[in-house]
Copies of this chain bind each other. A is one copy, B any other.
Amino acid sequence: MADKKSRLHIPHPTARPGDKPDFSYLDLSPAGAVDKPSIDSRTRDIEYLSSGLVRVLDDDHQATGPWAPDLDPGKLQIALRWMMLNRVFDKRMWQIQRQGRISFYMEALGEEAVSVAQGMALRPGDMCFPSYRNQALYMYRGMSLVDMMCQCLSNTRDMCKGRQLPIMYHSAKANMFSISGNLATQYPHAVGWAMASAIKGEDHIAAAWLGDGATAEADFHHAITFAAVYQAPVILNIVNNQWAISTFQGFAGGERRPFAARGLGLGIPGIRVDGNDFLAIYATTLWAADRARRGGGPTMIELVTYRGGAHSTSDDPSKYRPKDEWQDFPLGDPVERLKQHLILGGQWSEEQHEKLEEELTAEVTAAWKEAQQYGTMTEGPFLDPSTMFDDVYAEVPRHLQSQRRRMMEVEGVNGEGSES
């Protein structure tokens, strides 16, 4: 056995630490090049959407082509604001984690357009099943920075009552589902939610997000199968940021066909979109949402972007990819591109931008100050640990009541620790 040469194919990223970044593997289309079909089109007639790349903002930051949405500059300024807030917030939280003041964090650096553009294209009654890099969806849908920080602090105002890792937000009011630590599990939930909406005859749709890496999970398959069979009104987003921790997207099967094509075999149309192009994302999401709302069934959207930062605060990407790879990413920086587009149209300026950045920084600082008043990891007020027995069930059953009592005793001075 040892003398024969292995014939197993092993995917390789185009560059490793020390190498020159190389994005030649990415198929790009120029802005405006991809046709915009009617939402009634049959899947087989619009397969081209899964292999092209829908782009609106061209290299000169001009909006161009059939997908260019009709959005007034005021709305775009608002969008820019949310994207910037996401970035400022992430940066601060990252620092805060580095100072040891929260246990963990994950940032969306370079992917901010995804959440903001899709958030804006959906209606408030639509239900979102996000991944851990969709914090801007929560923000856009009304979750306050203080609430988000309190969640990360597991403090007395934490919506999760200290039960979840930082960033695992939820908000029923905002129609934002609870984030799970288990990849991809939210995908079939979104489909089931959408099926229920259809059963009830409502026109709310669902949308779900996961990463390129997570497409390999079983739940991805379950979700697309059920979505296709029942023509559920759902948007299935794949945020292809090229990396899954240390593993490049080839290990998720991205070497041969774009992720947008994953549902074609089931008749689910796929759209491959420039994930750093706010306008393109907005337009494609609106198209898919319309289609779903009018009974056209599911659409898959692959958002081609790049994970600008580390996977999480536990990760060190310099171990597995060129340090400055993001700078060479051909689709650039989503914030910068929307900014330049607005500047080009005379609706924005460097000065305004700087000023806004300062404002947002101050807003985040103020929020952080406020959040800490509800407690930190080291300073009170602290959450009452006895709450850990709540919500396991709708009512606290007897055995958990007695375990709660025992816990309080042990935590007290005269503890005794035998079983209840």
Contact = CB atoms under 8 A, between A and B. Distances in A.
A4 B218 contact: no
B7 A233 contact: yes
Contact of A255 (B4, B221, B267): B267
A153 interface: no
A262 interface: yes
Interface in A211-237: 216, 218, 220-222, 225, 228-233
A8 B231 CA distance: 7
Contacts of A4: 200-202
Given A230-B10, A253-B229, A5 B201 contact: yes
Interface residues of A, number: 47
A399 interface: no
Contact of A8 (B198, B250, B252): B198
B261 A256 contact: no
Given A5-B201, A201-B4, A253 B228 contact: yes
Interface in A232-250: 232-233, 250
A216 B223 CA distance: 10
User: In the assembly, how many copies of this chain are there?
Assistant: 2
Interface string A170-203: 0000000000000000000000000100111110
A23 to B, nearest CB: 19
A43 B261 CA distance: 13
Contact of A229 (B1, B11, B201, B264): B11
A295 interface: yes
A235 to B, nearest CB: 16
Given A9-B230, A225-B216, A257 B266 contact: yes
Nearest to A42: B256
A297 interface: yes
Contact of A6 (B198, B229, B267): B198
Interface of A: 1, 4-11, 43-44, 195, 198-202, 216, 218, 220-222, 225, 228-233, 250-253, 255-257, 259, 261-267, 270, 295, 297
8 contacts: A6-B200, A7-B201, A8-B199, A11-B229, A229-B251, A257-B265, A262-B265, A264-B264
